[in-house]
Structure 1
Amino acid sequence: MNNRRHVLTKDTTGSVKLWEITRGAVIEDFGKVSFEDKKKELFEMVSIPAWFTMDARLGCLSVHLDTPQCFSAEIYAVDLNVSGAQEDLKINLAHDTLCGLLVHWSKRKQKSSSHGLPNGDSSIGKDVPSKDSHRSRTEVDDTTENHTTHVLPSFEFSTVSPPSIITEGSSGGPWRKRITDLDGTEGDLPWWCVDCVTHNRYPKENTKCGFYLHPAEGSPAPNITQGKLSAPRILRIHKVANYVVEKLVLDKPLDGGSDSTFVMGLSSAQSQLSQLDSSSRLGLKPWQKTKPCIEVLCNNQVLSPDMSLATVRTYIWKKPEDLILHYRVVQSR
């Protein structure tokens, strides 16, 4: 599915099911219904990078994670209904999925380390990657339900029917174990998985989206930027509207014919937009508090405040060039 967390499947009996990949669980069994109709019904207008591949060659759903591609997808914690999460808290789907898969391994490894390792063996978290380790791949056989702790609920894997981990391309050759059978001594886990889970280190993909922000045609709103802006792909449109409000209220608008430069150039605008991304507001949703009220448009279409820049680029802009957004001041509701 477009949210990159759910997968719709149809088995040999014709039963259609919805899986949550980050938990390895079936979250809805629709029975024998039309697969295409259900797919259309569940469609969401969201754009998130593909961070895994999958197949059913083994007779069950297998999910493949490869570095660095698997670390390309981020979402806001509030989209996972994380209790008490700040509005700007981002979650890397692969990172938290790996933490959920390897929670038993991690606990047992820590317990083993606390008692000391025999023969002076060093922690595999510090192992030097093998020649082919960058090509290592981890597979997950998803046939599970949810029932573990110490990770976010959206990344808890079942201990009753746990998935298996299969490693490919590691120096010791391929092997397979259920996640609950991992004892912390496995030395053939891909180094990037170990680094991710034990040290929270993983490749940082370019998650920025470049765009231009101009007054809408016929709008009396002044021009507030010069040059291209840059922000996280998952930045919501209401943050862009907030940025416009901040510039209109706090800064002197730039004259259309002015030759003055934007203070410190583009970096100033980028910095302010970044600060807005990291700000959180309590009570009413931010876009419900903005005065004056700002509408953001793309291709003459008013954008929903909940849309991300990536979603706008994919479904509204639909061009390879940098995104162009327009804004206008409307009567406060």
Structure 2
Amino acid sequence: MDRIEPLVRKPVASIPGKPAIVEHEVLADRRRVLTKDARGNVALWDVLLGTEIVLYGKADFHAKRRELWEPRHVAPWFTCDHRLGCLCITLTSNTAFAVEDYAVNVGFGGVPEDRKVNYGKLVLECVLAKWRFFVVQSIVQNCSISPGGSSGCGSDVVYGMRLQQSCSGSGCCNGGCGGRGCIGCGSSGANHRWGRANNCCYGGGGGDDVRPYYKELWPKYWQLETVPAVICSGSDGQRWRRLLTSFNGSEIEPDEVPTWVADVVLRSAIVASLVSQVTFYLLPVKGSNLPTLSITRLQAPHILEVHKVAKYCCEKLQEHGTHLEVLPGHRRRVPLSPLRAPPGTSDVQPYMPYRVLELTCNGLAVPYNMDLAAVRKFLWREDDDLTFHYGVRDPSNPAPHPRLEPFG
């Protein structure tokens, strides 16, 4: 049989695809993920934003991994893989709400210092914001909500939560679900651009607090140039897939959307805080002649940063008549303060150093940007209660700084 020769031997055009992700590393903060694609391009992703935040181009993946390492101890709240060639983030009901952080550390402005943000709750609300919008809109229409907020169901609307609980004719029902939850899959590739958030406030809080408690704009609904997909397991174990922009409110709870997810996204349920407490002692350095605080055994969330411990210590010492300064972090040189000369004296002004507080743990100066969990893991390294010692920093002989090796 004669061989048939092709009419066209060269392609008229080619459509290059995005290279697949072949390697990834979840960083110590459990928020950023470093990836490498098939072309050797390295990128940094932010799970809370659902997109790449830094494109390094062709770089040494392991060198960049060491460069980005920091002494943090954060519980795992998601699992990550790249089996599909893209970055896949998986949330489950057992661990999704295991991590909280202070809102100011996450990036919110104009909020109280003690306000906390739950990572899993934030991601779920961003991913399913469009679904929630259509579901609440449908409930409002079915229950004939008046402009003033009252309804024929006998309840006011509080972000759709009270209405959902009181209106039996809604399209969503309560029920148990053993599904694995939602999987957000971002597209891979070096040409992926940064995501842009819309102008929408991240409102939340449960109970009677109906006001958005974050004044800063936040991507309540991710608007990304490369749209992620959401994969979810329903009550029957079957998985379904939607693009982030394809939700229309027809996804039913619990058949398609697990109840534990709908509780958080639709009814603004307050997730149980899994943030553990750390017990620690605050004692003066022997021979420092500093007074002992009235309360030496304290307890605080493990996400509390050391600079707040230092500030607390100075405030309590001030009550005992001892005034010390708190420097941001640690500096090699202590700033000097000029003493004002009395009127009519020489302009030559002597200098006197500030009396600066120094916190140590196991004889090492504690970096003020570390949290209690990190101090316990990297400096204390014992099973009993953590112990800090406070003293006056000697500029000529300060406490040694810890040598923290990456992944050590």
- TM-score under structure 2 normalisation? 0.65
1:209, 1:232 within 8 Å by CA — same for their partners in 2?
Answer: yes
Q: Which has the higher contact order (CA 8 A, sep 6+)?
A: 1
2:97, 2:273 within 8 Å by CA — same for their partners in 1?
Answer: yes
Q: Shift of the alpha carbon at 1:10?
A: 1.0
2:376, 2:382 within 8 Å by CA — same for their partners in 1?
Answer: yes
2:181 to 134, 137, 148: 137
Q: Deviations over 1:112-154 (max 9, x none)?
A: 1111179954353x51223x25xx3321102275234324536
- Cα distance in structure 1, aligned partners of 2:235 and 2:223: 26
1:149-168 equivalences in 2 (<5 Å): 149=198, 150=200, 151=202, 152-153=217-218, 157-168=222-233
Q: Shift of the alpha carbon at 1:159?
A: 4.5
How many residue pairs were aligned? 296
Q: Shift of the alpha carbon at 1:194?
A: 1.1
- Cα distance in structure 1, aligned partners of 2:228 and 2:302: 32
Between stretches 234-243 and 170-179, larger displacement belongs to 170-179
- Cα distance in structure 2, aligned partners of 1:30 and 1:325: 40
Equivalent in the alignment of 1:28: 54
Distance change (3 Å), C-alpha of 1:294 and 1:154: farther
**% identical equivalent positions:** 32
Question: Is 1:128 the equivalent of 2:197?
Answer: no
Q: Shift of the alpha carbon at 1:238?
A: 2.0
Equivalent in the alignment of 1:324: 387
- Cα distance in structure 1, aligned partners of 2:219 and 2:369: 21
Q: Shift of the alpha carbon at 1:19?
A: 0.9
Question: Is 1:67 the equivalent of 2:93?
Answer: yes
Amino acid at match of 2:120: A
Q: Shift of the alpha carbon at 1:35?
A: 0.6
Equivalent in the alignment of 1:79: 105
1:245, 1:292 within 8 Å by CA — same for their partners in 2?
Answer: no
Distance change (3 Å), C-alpha of 1:107 and 1:285: farther
Between stretches 229-238 and 165-174, larger displacement belongs to 165-174
Equivalent in the alignment of 1:12: 38
- Cα distance in structure 1, aligned partners of 2:329 and 2:138: 47
Higher percent of residues as helix: 1
Amino acid at match of 2:195: N
Q: Deviations over 1:145-201 (max 9, x none)?
A: 523432453665234422111112534622111121112231221111111123232
- Cα distance in structure 1, aligned partners of 2:318 and 2:142: 60
Distance change (3 Å), C-alpha of 1:7 and 1:286: closer
Question: Is 1:235 the equivalent of 2:282?
Answer: no
Indicate the SS of the match to 2:370.
coil
Which stretches of structure 1, 4 residues or longer, exceed 6 Å deviation after superposition?
A: 284-288
1:224-303 equivalences in 2 (<5 Å): 224=293, 228-250=297-319, 293-303=356-366
- Cα distance in structure 2, aligned partners of 1:222 and 1:4: 40
Q: Deviations over 1:56-84 (max 9, x none)?
A: 11221100111231212122222233232
Amino acid at match of 2:272: P
2:273 to 197, 201, 204: 204
Equivalent in the alignment of 1:58: 84
- Cα distance in structure 2, aligned partners of 1:250 and 1:147: 48
2:45, 2:53 within 8 Å by CA — same for their partners in 1?
Answer: yes
- Cα distance in structure 1, aligned partners of 2:232 and 2:272: 19
Equivalent in the alignment of 2:117: 91
- Cα distance in structure 2, aligned partners of 1:292 and 1:196: 49
Indicate the SS of the match to 1:249.
helix
Q: Shift of the alpha carbon at 1:213?
A: 1.9
Larger Rg: 2
- Cα distance in structure 1, aligned partners of 2:84 and 2:50: 16
Equivalent in the alignment of 1:147: 196
Equivalent in the alignment of 2:262: 194
- Cα distance in structure 1, aligned partners of 2:306 and 2:171: 45
Gaps of 5+ in 1: 254-283
Equivalent in the alignment of 2:377: 314
- Cα distance in structure 1, aligned partners of 2:233 and 2:294: 50
Amino acid at match of 1:194: A
1:80, 1:154 within 8 Å by CA — same for their partners in 2?
Answer: no
Q: Shift of the alpha carbon at 1:9?
A: 0.7
- TM-score under structure 1 normalisation? 0.78
Equivalent in the alignment of 2:29: 3
Between stretches 33-42 and 139-148, larger displacement belongs to 139-148
Indicate the SS of the match to 2:389.
strand
Amino acid at match of 1:162: V
Between stretches 93-102 and 169-178, larger displacement belongs to 169-178
2:129, 2:220 within 8 Å by CA — same for their partners in 1?
Answer: no
Q: Deviations over 1:192-227 (max 9, x none)?
A: 111112323223214311222222232212222567
